[in-house]
Structures are given as C-alpha cells and as structure tokens.
Amino acid sequence: MNLSLRFWAALDGLLVRLRQRRATLSLLMDLAVVALSWQATYLFRLGFERWASARPAYDAAVLAGLLLLYALVFLLLQVPRSIWRFSGFGEVKRLAWACLLAGALGGAAVRALGLEGVPRAVLALHPVMALMGLVLVRILYRMLYEHMRARLHRGSGTVRQLLILGAGEAATRLIAGLRDGDSLIHGLLDDDPTKTGQRIAGCPVLGALDSLGAQCERLPLTHLVIAMPSLRGAARRRVFDLASATGLPVLTVPSADELRDGMPLERVRDIKPEDLLGREPVQLDEAGIGEMIAGSTVLITGAGGSIGSELCRQVARYAPRILVLYELSEFNLYAIEQELGERFPTLQLVRVIGDVKDLAHLRATLGQWRPQLLFHAAAFKHVPLMEEEHNAWACVRNNTLGTYHAALAAAEVGVARFVLISTDKAVNPTNVMGASKRAAELVIAALAREHASTRFMAVRFGNVLGSSGSVIPKFKEQIARGGPVTVTHPDIIRYFMTIPEAARLVLQAAAIGESGQVLVLDMGEPVKIVELARTMIRLSGRTLDEIGVVFSGLRPGEKMYEELLVSDEKTRVTSVKALRAASLQEEPASSHVILKWLHTAKDENVRASDLLAMLVAEYQPPK
C-alpha cells in the first residue's frame, strides 16, 4: 500500500473510532463555528483596525452566553444527531431554524440587559454568518469523506460502478445514500430532455434511457440502478427490458408499497419478480374497508402463511379492536406475532394454535372471541404434492372439510362476513388441490343459503409471487446455484399478482361482496413462464448461455393455462373497477351428504379424487 493510501486508510480508521462520539464532537465543532462566526461578524462590521479594540469589556461574557444558548437550541432541534456525510437541503433547513431561533433569543437578551456596547449590526448579522459557517463545514466534510472513500475504493478494486436510470427525487436521495458505500456513480439517464446535460446532486445526466446501450459500451459499469419507484405499466416494463438487455446486474430502489411500509428509499435491492409486472395498482375503497375493520374483532385462519400473514399486516393498518391469529404452525404464528407486535404495538393480538380440521376447537375459539369478520386462508396448495394419493385425503380434509368447519362455526356465532381465499385452479379443476378448493366454494355457497345472517363469499386470484410453493423462489435458487432453470413447458402461461395485491383484494371483497358471491381480479395479461425465467436470469447479470433453461414436462395435475371463471358463471361489474363478481353456484350433488361422509371417511377404499368428482361436476380425476 503506497503512502497516499495509508494516509486515507488511517483517516478512515480514525473517523470510524470517533463515530461512537459523533453527537458530542458535532456539537463541540458547531459551537466552535458559532464562536468563529462571532469574530468574523465583528471583523466585517468594524474592520481590521477596530475589530479587537472597539469591543466592550463584557464581550467574552456575551459570547459565552450565546454559545450556551446555541447549544440548547441545537440540542432541542437534534442538530448533533445528524450525519454530516449525508447532509442535504433538509439539514440546511434545520440549521437555518436553529440559527434564527438562537440569534433572535440572543439578540433580544442582549438588548434587554442593556448591553449597548455590542453593535446591533453584529447581533443581526451573526446568525447569518453562523449559518454560512455551519453549512460550509458540512460541505467540506462531505467532500473530504467522499474523496477519501473514492481513493480507498480505487485502491482496493471493490467499488461498484453505477449508472442510475431516472433523475428525479428518488435518484437525488439515492445518490446521497450510495456515496457512503462502495459505489462510484458515473451518471444518470432520464427521458426528460430538459435534464440532459444538467447535474443532479453532483452527477451528470448523460442522456435519454434509449442511450443505455451506448453508455454501457462507453463506461466501465458493473451495475445499473433503477430509481423510478412510481413508474407503472408499459413504461415500467420498458425500463426493465432496456436494463435486462445490457447483461449487467440490475438493482432498484424500493417500490411504492415498500416505501409506504417504511423502507428507506436509499436502500437499493435486487430485482424482485413483482417489479417485472408493473401493473397499475388497484384503487380500493379505503373508506369502506376502514369502516368495516376499525374497532371490530377480526379472525384469520392460516395467519402465518404467505397470504394469511400479509392479510394480518393489511388488517392491522385499519386499527381493529382485536386481531385473532389462528395458525397450526408454531413457528409461523410466532413470526407474524412478533412482527405485528413491533409494527403495531397498540394492537391487541390473540395467538391461537389451532387446526381447521378440529371443529370443536374452532367453535370454542370463535365462541370466546366472537369476531365480526373471518378470513379463511388456511389451506394446502402445492399441486404436485397433493396429487399423490397418500396426500390427497389430507388435502380434501384440510381444504374442503376445514372450510366447512370454519364456515359452520362462523355461522353459529353470528360472524358478519366470512371470506374464503380461493384460487384460479378451482376453475375447471384438473387436480386434487383445485378440486378441493372448488368444493370449498360450493360448501360456502350451500351455507350462504342456510345462514342468512352471515355473508359468505370467496375470492379468486392467480399465482401469488413470492408465496410458499410458487415458482419464483425456485427460479431464484436455481440461478444462485448456477442453473439450469427448469420450466415445465415452453408454452405454459400463468396469471400473477403480488402478495400485497392479493391481500388488498381480499379486504375489498369483504367490504363489497354479497353472500354467495365469488370475486375475481382483472389480472391483466398472462405471463409466459419461460420468458419470466429468462428475464430473471438476465437481470441477475448472467447470460442465457451461463444459466440455461430446460423443460421438464408438465407435472401431474398441471394445466397449460389457468382460468378465473367457470364457463357458465355470469359476472357483473362492481364498484371497484378491477373487480368482477359472480355467483357461487351449488351443483345438484348434495354437499351435506359428502361432507357428512368426509367426517367418518378414513380407511375406505374410495379415492379422494373420486370423492371430489361426486361433488365437483367439472372435475375428471385421472384413471
């Protein structure tokens, strides 16, 4: 290591050691600046000849009093807690208010005490001089820090060399955050022609997004960062397509949903599959949902699962009186309870380990807490696993019988709304899992006619990105291992939505749905699975030659494409643009006879798939 690098490394080490005393040192340095500004103000007012001799004898006491006053104001406004290397316009505003307040109080005190020897111009100008000095010190520190980090990174060879896509507020805040890390920002791209040639937070805007390919050839880039959290629809997909075509690893700032949940904008992350959808967000009836949930008792079965846990988060935002978490997995129940306890400390949580196949326990739980709203998310949903005969009965008992138990117990205690979480695989089902969910829909359709005091409804949506058992985590693991990525068929397509979208759809359905209805979301265009896999490979910075795609063939019970509506279901529009409602028709077969038989069926020779075919007319079990 040469002498220059040793100097910068030593300085970096010193700053790291001083960081634990940052607040105290910051306050002392700020007070030193205030004191120097007092001298500079006298110099400006009286000139070199008189700046020392023309002062009153009590000037040192006045300065001591002012320093004490500035220290109190700085502590009140938490100025010492700021981090100088991140200083921006917000910090300047805080300093301006501090100097204005301290200067006004100090000037008023000096005049009130009759200390006429202190010139009024000095009292008036000193806060301005102090503000200029405080800001200048922070600018100089930030310049020194960034220069030091750049020299160290160049010496170590570990620096990430970035190009940022987007030149708005998100990019400005992102630059401030990245400058503290191992990053060198070469510039920004933006389609606003008025920004080209300008500098954003000291970084040049190099041109439009379409010039990305040329910039990648010209610059020694290692990563791209997309800083457009509010971009939606086709425009968002275009940006990701441009980025993926470069072959560089792509990072992004948090999405609008993540920002709403409190994630800092400056925290870049890898691309998630939901980033690729770019669908316009569904506009919900927030007032109606809030009126339904606020102050009520809500029970969620399967509260620790992918959909159930997100439902808990969404419900908690609307301030229910009590949230009952009903979950079979001890670990999942503990995890969601801990998270909710931290994020919503005033919310009363009830943790119940329970199985929806246990009707007596469900009755006791609902009888004790008497919820007004019940979301039934407990289910088995892995299609190939449930196709195996030794698992098929477990699927039927959990998905169909469990729904019957939850719905029956809800009706008996007078739950106002019961919402079943269903799936597009329940439409013209070709597998046990889908048929068991269609049977569950028919069960609540039957109960809806028998128990008019409870609204029974179902919600259907497609594949949920990131949920347990979904294809996306599997793709990510395969890419991380070096491939290949396995896709069942080159033409297979699926509808996708994010977990937060799914949870919000469920809440909206509960607010506007009528008894005996199924609500479905306009899922937009279906996604070709092989193209999703290829895009994920490219966005990871790998090529299709490095990470191949192989086709493994359709799995047992798997469809080439999914549907959201049974062919004879008649849909109607709802008050929410992206939602449509249909009737949950009950087939002629008696669901009550089948369910009664399910209670006692354990070792009979009848296959679970054959039993389902007796209830679900459109299901044809494999021979």
Q: What is the pLDDT of residues 492-536, one digit of tens each?
A: 776 667 777 778 888 888 888 888 888 887 666 667 777 777 777
Torsion sign over Cα 291, 293, 297, 298: positive
Does residue 148 sit in the same domain as residue 13? yes
CB atoms within 10 A of CB 280: 13
- Asked if residue 470 belongs to a domain, the reply is yes
- Asked if residue 276 belongs to a domain, the reply is no
Does residue 77 sit in the same domain as residue 176? no
| 220 CA to centre of own chain | 31
Does residue 482 sit in the same domain as residue 584? yes
Does residue 363 sit in the same domain as residue 309? yes
The closest alpha carbon to 488, from 417, 550, 544, 438, belongs to: 550
The closest alpha carbon to 71, from 114, 101, 42, 41, belongs to: 101
Q: What pairing do the DSSP bridges indicate for beta strands 269-270 and 250-252?
A: antiparallel
* Residue 418 to residue 299: CA distance in whole angstroms: 10
Question: Which residue pairs from 317-322 have beta carbons closer than 8 angstroms and sit at least 24 positions apart in sequence?
Answer: 318/289, 318/290, 318/293, 318/294, 319/293, 319/294, 319/295, 319/347, 320/293, 320/294, 320/295, 320/296, 320/347, 321/295, 321/296, 321/297, 321/348, 322/297, 322/298, 322/348, 322/349, 322/350, 322/369, 322/371
Place of tokens 């940006």: 239
- Asked if residue 280 belongs to a domain, the reply is no
pLDDT at 273: 61
Does residue 293 sit in the same domain as residue 261? no
- Asked if residue 623 belongs to a domain, the reply is no
Task: Out of 122, 153, 184, pick the residue that ends a domain.
Answer: 153
pLDDT at 566: 47
Structure tokens, 30: 């700020």
Question: From residue 292, how far is each of 14, 22, 351, 373, 589 by CA, in Å?
Answer: 57, 48, 22, 9, 35
Structure tokens, 246: 């470069």
Buried b (16+ CB within 10 A) or exposed e, 349-381: bbbbebbbbebebbbebbeebebbbbbbbbbbb
In contact, 184 and 150? CB cutoff 8 Å: yes
CB atoms within 10 A of CB 507: 25
Query: Residue 550 — left, alpha, or beta (φ > 0 → left; ψ -120 to 50 → alpha)?
Result: beta
Q: Domain holding 239: CATH number?
A: 3.40.50.720
Does residue 531 sit in the same domain as residue 442? yes
In contact, 485 and 261? CB cutoff 8 Å: no
**Is residue 530 within a helix (H) or strand (E), and if so which, with residue range?**
helix 529-539
| 19 CA to centre of own chain | 31
* Residue 512 to residue 506: CA distance in whole angstroms: 10
**Number of independent structural domains in the chain:** 3
Torsion sign over Cα 520, 525, 527, 528: positive
The closest alpha carbon to 295, from 375, 363, 371, 376, belongs to: 371
Does residue 468 sit in the same domain as residue 554? yes
Task: Out of 230, 245, 271, pick the residue that ends a domain.
Answer: 271
Does residue 124 sit in the same domain as residue 56? yes
Residue 353, beta-bridge partner list: 327
Does residue 171 sit in the same domain as residue 293? no
Query: Residue 295 — left, alpha, or beta (φ > 0 → left; ψ -120 to 50 → alpha)?
Result: left
- Asked if residue 28 belongs to a domain, the reply is yes
In contact, 486 and 478? CB cutoff 8 Å: yes
- Mean per-residue pLDDT over the chain, rounded: 80
**Is residue 368 within a helix (H) or strand (E), and if so which, with residue range?**
helix 359-369
Does residue 101 sit in the same domain as residue 169? no
- Asked if residue 277 belongs to a domain, the reply is no
- Chunked mean pLDDT (size 10), the chain, 623 residues: 62 70 85 89 79 79 89 88 71 88 89 84 88 88 74 57 84 71 78 85 84 85 82 76 82 66 59 61 73 94 92 93 96 94 93 95 96 95 85 90 93 95 86 90 86 91 62 76 80 71 83 85 69 75 77 66 52 68 59 61 67 81 74
SS3 246: coil
pLDDT digits (tens, 9 = 90+) for 564-616: 554 445 666 676 666 777 777 654 445 566 666 666 555 456 788 887 887 78
| Domain ranges, residue 468 | 286-615
Task: Out of 227, 243, 271, pick the residue that ends a domain.
Answer: 271
Does residue 126 sit in the same domain as residue 185? no
- Asked if residue 424 belongs to a domain, the reply is yes
Torsion sign over Cα 399, 400, 405, 410: positive
- Asked if residue 278 belongs to a domain, the reply is no
Does residue 235 sit in the same domain as residue 203? yes
In contact, 489 and 430? CB cutoff 8 Å: no
* Residue 429 to residue 566: CA distance in whole angstroms: 10
Torsion sign over Cα 566, 289, 350, 497: positive
